[in-house]
Amino acid sequence: MIRFRYQPERSQLGIIFRPVATVVLEHRKALVELPLYIDSGADISMIPYRFGKALHLQQTPRDRVRRIRGIAGRSVPYVVKRLNFVFGRRKITARVAWSMTEEVPLLLGRMDLFEKFRITFNEKKRNNSVPPSFEL
């Protein structure tokens, strides 16, 4: 079991507690540790352009540039790459949408990952003195 705590963040609605997991992404011996929002509404995990570059990702002629629309309806170009996600001692290879722009959040989406875990969001604890948590 891997346990994470919700992180309080300021928004237009006030303080919002968001599930964030610090995960190591790995590609060809390059490692980047990132805080990813656990997003059960995201079909695929997503990283901005600069983090893909830090992992030595390269766009090749074989890559199909796709477009994805978020909740705001804005279209973002991306290519699908495979990366290793390291959760504690567990390593899982999963597809990632590598955005060709910077204006995307770091997301841990469902594809290739959620089926490997029992994910529990325990927001009820937010009303107690114990911070809310979730488990992978």
- Rounded-to-integer distance, Cα 97 and Cα 5, Å: 25
Domain tally, the chain: 1
Query: 16 in a domain, yes or no?
Result: no
Task: Please tell me the pTM assigned to this model.
Answer: 0.86
Query: 113 in a domain, yes or no?
Result: yes
CATH number at residue 65: 2.40.70.10
The predicted structure's pLDDT at residue 128: 47
Query: 13 in a domain, yes or no?
Result: no
The predicted structure's pLDDT at residue 109: 95
Query: 89 in a domain, yes or no?
Result: yes
Q: If we measure between CA atoms, which residue out of 51, 100, 113, 42 comes closest to residue 71?
A: 42
- Rounded-to-integer distance, Cα 46 and Cα 37, Å: 10
Q: How many CB atoms lie within 10 A of CB 49?
A: 18
* Tokens (6 digits) for 17: 């507690």
Query: 72 in a domain, yes or no?
Result: yes
* Tens-digit pLDDT profile for residues 63-119: 999 998 876 678 899 999 999 999 888 899 999 999 999 989 999 999 999 998 888
Would you say residue 130 has pLDDT above 80? no
Amino acid at 6: Y
Query: 14 in a domain, yes or no?
Result: no
Query: 78 in a domain, yes or no?
Result: yes
Domain with 27 in it: 3-8+21-135
Query: 66 in a domain, yes or no?
Result: yes
Confidence of residue 1 (pLDDT cuts 50, 70, 90): low
Task: Judge contact between 51 and 106, C-beta under 8 A.
Answer: yes
Task: Judge contact between 56 and 30, C-beta under 8 A.
Answer: yes
Would you say residue 134 has pLDDT above 90? no
The predicted structure's pLDDT at residue 90: 87
